[in-house]
Amino acid sequence: MTPGAHVAAKIEVLDAILLGVAAEKALTNWGRSNRFAGSKDRANIRDLVFQAIRCRRSAGAWPDASSARAWAIGALRANEVDPVQLFTGVGHSPTKLRANELTTQPILELDAWDIQDWMAHELKMFYGDTKAREMAQVLRHRAPISLRANLQKTSLAELQSALARADIVTSVNPICKTALTVHSNQRRVVLQEAFAKGWFELQDAASQAVAAAIPIEGRVLDYCAGGGGKALALAALADSAVDAWDSDAARMKDIEKRAVRGGHDIEVISPSDLDPMAQFDTVVCDLPCTGSGAWRRSPEGKWRLKETDLKKYCELQRNILAKCSQHVAAGGTLALITCSIFQAENQLQRDFLIKSYPDLGFVMDQQYLPSAENDGLYLAIFKKNK
């Protein structure tokens, strides 16, 4: 497919999204209806679609898009690509730009942030205008792809060498000693023998850094384990058993397979089997949240999220913290984690624990902001009194 044909396909997918179809579903449907498209074509179209979603406001498609075609044109311009070069009407390319489409509309300062007004206000109130603007700009672009090297099986140098033989170029990510950032052939990494041998997992570098900063002792519980990324990282770091629990069993379905591949001892506890009186020396709670620190990966979130949703997440988080804190043994550690950049989900939840649970002593916290090297995550560590 030509670059112009990729843009035409992008418009088809954006049309479906405007009708309410989720981006992933719209892309899957397009692929099934256009089986002539190769894997590289589908990957290219996916990148174009997600970039259009990330830049929806600066593309002139927020809150409403006049059409998928207008959205596509605006998204190209927002990313400094001249649509005239792609809208040629040749072959499967979109038809040439009409007179009214040749006119570019001025972009207001806040439009260039590519987030909703209330989000910009929240970020500016806590981080200040400059840092908030920088974060918003980072979230307009594609996220880095990072690997977590399983140092129980390999070294960074050995893993880099193995991947280089498959023309997969990586660099050491400075945020964590286990992290590599992938710069080429990113979609091929999980097809490598090194992956099958358990030498690495896909995991954001800040997520790795958060796991590495947790003082792991004794019996470990990964509460709200989800797919098990943190449990796997903790098991690799501690070289000890980890219990994984989540209220939704379906989210944990791949943990055992991943643990076997990595050579880790992880016991998956079904939702109904966690003893409410069970005590652990280390409890890690990766709270459900807005996911704002990872909006580059799921950009629909920053357009769907409402201010009332943020408040609901905060209420849910406090209910979860009340339950998981009961599992921390005397003298044990509680680690609160989110992939959020909102103060309400991070520092204010830290303050809530300090105020509401005097038996939990605050130890430290760390806010990782979205950057060219990592997603945005927050970590707060508490120690329960003996």
Rounded CA-CA distance 199/154 in Å is: 6
Do 60 and 168 belong together in one domain? no
| Residues facing residue 267 across a β-bridge | 243
- Of residues 132, 138, 105, 134, the one with CA closest to residue 117: 132
Is there a domain that residue 195 lies in?
yes
Do 256 and 182 belong together in one domain? no
What was the pLDDT predicted at 104?
86
What was the pLDDT predicted at 80?
93
Rounded CA-CA distance 277/295 in Å is: 37
Is there a domain that residue 104 lies in?
yes
Distance linking the first and last C-alpha atoms of the chain: 65
Do 224 and 256 belong together in one domain? yes
Q: State the CATH number of the domain containing residue 153.
A: 3.30.70.1170
As for how many domains the chain has, the answer is: 3
Do 267 and 342 belong together in one domain? yes
- Of residues 376, 381, 377, 373, the one with CA closest to residue 179: 373
Is there a domain that residue 128 lies in?
no
Is there a domain that residue 265 lies in?
yes
Rounded CA-CA distance 267/52 in Å is: 41
Q: State the CATH number of the domain containing residue 249.
A: 3.40.50.150
Residue where a domain terminates, one of 159, 187, 202:
202
The series of mean pLDDT values per 10 residues for the chain, 386 residues long, is 96 97 96 91 96 97 94 96 95 94 88 97 97 97 97 96 97 96 95 97 98 95 96 89 96 96 96 95 97 97 97 98 96 98 98 96 98 97 95
Do 225 and 358 belong together in one domain? yes
Rounded CA-CA distance 158/164 in Å is: 10
Distance of CA 242 to the CA centre of its chain: 23
Do 316 and 196 belong together in one domain? no
Do 43 and 108 belong together in one domain? yes
Do 284 and 351 belong together in one domain? yes
Is there a domain that residue 175 lies in?
yes
What was the pLDDT predicted at 147?
98
Residues 6+ apart with CB under 8 A from 87: 4, 7, 73, 93, 94, 95, 96, 97, 101
What was the pLDDT predicted at 106?
84
* pLDDT tens digits, 184-219: 999 999 999 999 999 999 999 999 999 999 999 999
Do 252 and 103 belong together in one domain? no
**C-beta of residue 217 within 8 angstroms of C-beta of residue 281:** yes
Kindly state the tokens that stand for 19.
């009708």
Is there a domain that residue 260 lies in?
yes
Sort residue 332 into left (φ over 0), alpha (ψ -120 to 50) or beta.
Answer: beta
**Containing structural domain, residue 327:** 209-384
- The label of the residue with tokens 């950009």 reads 299
* pLDDT tens digits, 325-340: 999 999 999 999 999 9
- Of residues 211, 143, 220, the one with CA closest to residue 379: 211
Rounded CA-CA distance 330/223 in Å is: 18
Do 214 and 198 belong together in one domain? no
C-alpha distances out from residue 6 to 34, 37, 48, 60, 91, Å: 12, 10, 8, 21, 12
Is there a domain that residue 46 lies in?
yes
- Of residues 366, 360, 367, the one with CA closest to residue 382: 360
Rounded CA-CA distance 326/38 in Å is: 52
In which element (H, E) is residue 380 found?
strand 377-384
Do 353 and 261 belong together in one domain? yes
Rounded CA-CA distance 308/38 in Å is: 42
Residues 6+ apart with CB under 8 A from 254: 227, 228
Is there a domain that residue 120 lies in?
no
Rounded CA-CA distance 222/285 in Å is: 6
Do 336 and 188 belong together in one domain? no
Kindly state the tokens that stand for 179.
């992290």
